[in-house]
Structure 1
């Protein structure tokens, strides 16, 4: 009898267990999304008390561990008590477009997407959009219903849980000051949970993008955001990464030193509904080079809002400030216009003080008469008011100005994000290019507004004036920033600075020249004097004349953040390989030049001369399949393939 009873109990229990297991599997599938190639996956889950989290995997290996999700509003709580209300069907989306400024001009990516709507204890709804593609995954919060009452977001619980003992490269988010936050600090090599040490100033968090080498060093991830508009502040990561969880943090109220912003007490995000928040992006690669070449940030940004873009032309510019920071005379500005004219540069940049120089010496007319298009500097506060901004843009366009370099934003507050979108739009109406300095990190805006051609938000060559640690750390940083800052958008590094400044350069001259071809920037502002340009060998002068400011195709041949970087670059019928050493030691590399130089019989290599800090050596060789080269400490090289 006992045996019969046990069998009967099992016959009842088995269907119940099967139902529970199949329900769990069904819910897991319902709350997860895989890329079309089935390699990248994001999976959401709910606890018994309705708390929401997610994890990310690649090839079924965990990339981001269980991490919190949720929002807390002034009058609604989506941090617990949640249940699934609706799950959309999976859709396939294709992002096919071209970029004016890019590593690779043509982008064609396919994503899987779905939306999951959650209900809180008050029956209020919150939707999370999921995206999964070959370059990573992303998610965003969305409230599609209509509601006139303004919602104030007190806290975003979103975190990124990184495993212990992982290697990361993060930039401190500097506390508000006269020139901060401006995303102009060193990327520091850290492990999850490490405090902020070695920052240039007091810091209140970590910047995005943030780079990590995860999964026992087998994968790379870059955490970033995309699609930030006037309905949300620019975000960073909280300074407290206890247990390896990096949490989203909002811009601070005190980020208003340079702009006429109101004192809000706390600068919470706020908006009426509908409200679509920025994408939280996790780019994934098997190699660091996959991250460098990723376009996921622009893939998720809105498509171009400028229909006719033929007037937007990338190019190069001479720029007087770096070599003559105290000279704002018409004669000096005209001298650098002559540099642009002699090297075939499309642009010349007139920095601070140009208005007086133009009144006295008509420097704009002088540039136009020589076939050079002028760019002019401006202060952010002059472009903050909408009416004044539109009037100013119209005046500049009528003068013949082609673009504006607007400086000293120093804020990620929501009002500033909204103003930047209006700056791009108003400038586009007058066919003006935009270069932001002292500014926030780009967030895919160069796809939405192609006239946004470059931005600072980088610790560039002006640091030879201001930062005593820069000479020692510059080479290493130059092999990290292409995997971090430059992935977010075009970077105005102002390369090629040979003249010694307050803090003496340690990078070789060839390393400095190579930087013009390592970073992508819609306008390359070369940072040295007429005398330096004129002293260059003819082969280098010709290189500067033909050097593109954007690329059709790029491949990462060697990508080791902090150590070395070698890129293959192509534009039209031009083909190059450019490399830099981020260390103090020689590095031997081997490259199959026949693979990258198809159709070319010879190559010209520019390397270090006898005086490595100031001189170049130019040699020509036949293209070989097994080319070996020793990268000098803090050195570099440029290969030009020639017929």
Structure 2
């Protein structure tokens, strides 16, 4: 009996020692104390964190750490100091997006650690009222180049958490080997341990629901000395882990994994936390992005653009059709016209200069297409491979200035490796010097770059309207896909979905109503909103719709989430000056009635645009009386107050 008691004492002592080794050393909170982060070292002396919201755990013990090629900053670490909370504040203005003037406030905690060789790493936490952010910093200065082999960051969601995720595509697959470009359909309401069907994990932003709490995981502040990452379920950690790109995702002869001199900071890992209103209205993705570079901004204007290629494809890129689309943009009071692939041969410099002069006389600016790619894919479109070097960019961008071109749409990038991320930064810096607006297609998620580079107007990184024109399956999925995007891809960053077909798509049966399509340019956020509809299609619409489309902002002063659920429906309100636009779409194949709380728009008259009998319909309404709206399947509405 004594032996059994002694054994039990030994077991209890061992358990207590283990618990003490994984004890919480730091407790970090946001200013309102609704979000709490427990920090500590586990029994391997690896750092971990745990997050609770309103005193309920939403992220269980999750691992932190970095494996550098020369040193490990993962196990066997020692805490040197944990700082007292410091209130950090920021105020900044955006040229585009959901909100113009933005205030950021958070409690910052800095954990200083060292490894067995007394090499230092800091983990910096910012806890705001809408989420948690953290990043790593190597504080010791050195001119040597250090390389990171692996980032150990995990997100250990509670067992009942559900996820809404987009699979990462496999590199060098798809048409002419153009993947990855963030162009897959989302998978809804799955377990966090479900494997991606493609086998390469999941892209950001990733959406989760832990009981009644919503979380969005992403990254921001991605500099040229780090790679873009994604999430992959790690069996050993039993959690979603930050994962580096596939080996093919590099600039020719460039680096895949991060390398830099020190001091060196990683991108911010961000987690917005709260209800759907909190996460959709959050600006955390730009709050912690790098501040704007020094540059003139007088040439930066947001607006709508006409675009022939969306419905008319390659044959439309010629002098006559482009001139027609310049007239179209001018008639619609849109600022831009986009000229797509092969313009260098189908139009040529001499006629491009004539088109630019003509557009200028019509108060329209031109944007032209480039193929960014070198050897990483086999795309035939041109001009191609002109931007691979700084010398090439300077030549081409000066050429654009001489022709009177205002911006460039650059397509077909090759992934998220560190050298490819550096390529994006190089393009943006050189475009800024030449006062050219930038639109990236076939590209990565911008991760807050629109704050750092205000002339970055938009980025595709989505299965957008062009895919709907390619095959019926994408058209069939459009409504639910569009109802997913305000909660995921478009939640922080501009998205060039290229929306809105009011008439018809050649060879495709459109499944959405006219009023669904009308809502998209307001629902979706993009510094330049490229409109898919053609002049011929627009001429078929009633005059009141054409007049409405002449005055749609793309840079908003304020945005509010009214109602919705990812993939099912969404209603958003956006304000520009004294005008409120309230838009909603039904992403399901069934009719429904949506409740509307528009109490913030006090006793205002507005025009409601909907569809009846397959035609546009409008009526005058009052904000106080518009408390419900009925939508058909795949239907939408717009109200302008």
TM-score normalised by length of structure 1? 0.90
Q: Distance in 1 between matches of 2:76 and 2:618?
A: 68
1:563·1:583 contact (CA, 8 Å) conserved in 2?
yes
Q: Distance in 2 between matches of 1:585 and 1:241?
A: 39
Q: Distance in 1 between matches of 2:242 and 2:477?
A: 28
Q: 1:119 to 1:606 in 2, by over 3 A?
A: same
Are 1:87 and 2:87 an aligned pair? Answer: no
> Residues 312-342 of structure 1: CA distance to partner in whole angstroms, max 9, x if unpaired?
1111100000121022210011110011000
Alignment equivalent of 1:210, drawn from 177, 185, 206: 206
Q: 1:52 to 1:622 in 2, by over 3 A?
A: closer
Name the SS for the 1:382 alignment partner.
coil
2:574·2:581 contact (CA, 8 Å) conserved in 1?
yes
Per-residue deviation, 1:207: 0.5
Could you say which residue in structure 2 is the equivalent of 1:118? Answer: 113
Are 1:508 and 2:513 an aligned pair? Answer: yes
Could you say which residue in structure 1 is the equivalent of 2:486? Answer: 482
Q: Distance in 2 between matches of 1:622 and 1:571?
A: 19
> Aligned ranges for residues 82-481 of structure 1 at < 5 Å?
82-177=77-172, 178-189=177-188, 190-197=190-197, 202-214=198-210, 216=211, 218-240=212-234, 245-256=239-250, 261-262=252-253, 267-285=256-274, 287-327=275-315, 328-356=317-345, 357-359=347-349, 361=351, 362-380=354-372, 381-481=385-485
Per-residue deviation, 1:352: 1.0
2:120·2:139 contact (CA, 8 Å) conserved in 1?
no
> Residues 525-557 of structure 1: CA distance to partner in whole angstroms, max 9, x if unpaired?
000211111121111111110111121111111
Q: 1:212 to 1:467 in 2, by over 3 A?
A: farther
1:192·1:243 contact (CA, 8 Å) conserved in 2?
no
1:289·1:559 contact (CA, 8 Å) conserved in 2?
no
Alignment equivalent of 1:42, drawn from 31, 37, 46: 37
Name the SS for the 2:309 alignment partner.
coil
1:164·1:244 contact (CA, 8 Å) conserved in 2?
no
Q: Distance in 1 between matches of 2:78 and 2:439?
A: 45
Q: Distance in 2 between matches of 1:129 and 1:332?
A: 54
1:33·1:43 contact (CA, 8 Å) conserved in 2?
yes
Name the SS for the 2:201 alignment partner.
strand
2:602·2:624 contact (CA, 8 Å) conserved in 1?
no
Could you say which residue in structure 2 is the equivalent of 1:10? Answer: none
Name the SS for the 2:610 alignment partner.
strand
Are 1:610 and 2:613 an aligned pair? Answer: yes
Q: Distance in 2 between matches of 1:118 and 1:36?
A: 25
Per-residue deviation, 1:506: 0.8
Q: Distance in 2 between matches of 1:298 and 1:628?
A: 33
Q: Distance in 2 between matches of 1:583 and 1:242?
A: 38
> Residues 294-319 of structure 1: CA distance to partner in whole angstroms, max 9, x if unpaired?
11111111111135423211111000
> Residues 370-390 of structure 1: CA distance to partner in whole angstroms, max 9, x if unpaired?
111111111113222112112
Q: Distance in 2 between matches of 1:182 and 1:91?
A: 39
Name the SS for the 1:204 alignment partner.
coil
Q: Distance in 2 between matches of 1:577 and 1:180?
A: 36
Q: 1:24 to 1:204 in 2, by over 3 A?
A: closer
Name the SS for the 2:290 alignment partner.
coil
Q: Distance in 1 between matches of 2:595 and 2:45?
A: 55
2:34·2:55 contact (CA, 8 Å) conserved in 1?
yes
Q: 1:626 to 1:436 in 2, by over 3 A?
A: closer
Per-residue deviation, 1:353: 2.2
Are 1:53 and 2:56 an aligned pair? Answer: no
Per-residue deviation, 1:471: 1.9
1:235·1:412 contact (CA, 8 Å) conserved in 2?
yes
TM-score normalised by length of structure 2? 0.90
Q: Distance in 2 between matches of 1:606 and 1:253?
A: 50
Per-residue deviation, 1:619: 2.2
Name the SS for the 2:312 alignment partner.
coil
Per-residue deviation, 1:427: 1.2
Name the SS for the 1:53 alignment partner.
strand
Q: Distance in 2 between matches of 1:394 and 1:551?
A: 32
Q: Distance in 1 between matches of 2:259 and 2:413?
A: 21
1:591·1:625 contact (CA, 8 Å) conserved in 2?
no
Q: Distance in 2 between matches of 1:346 and 1:127?
A: 47
Q: Distance in 1 between matches of 2:236 and 2:537?
A: 50
Could you say which residue in structure 2 is the equivalent of 1:12? Answer: none
Q: Distance in 2 between matches of 1:467 and 1:209?
A: 26
Of stretches 175-184 and 44-53 in structure 1, the one that deviates more from structure 2 is 44-53
Q: Distance in 2 between matches of 1:389 and 1:626?
A: 53
Could you say which residue in structure 1 is the equivalent of 2:501? Answer: 497
Alignment equivalent of 1:576, drawn from 575, 581, 587: 581
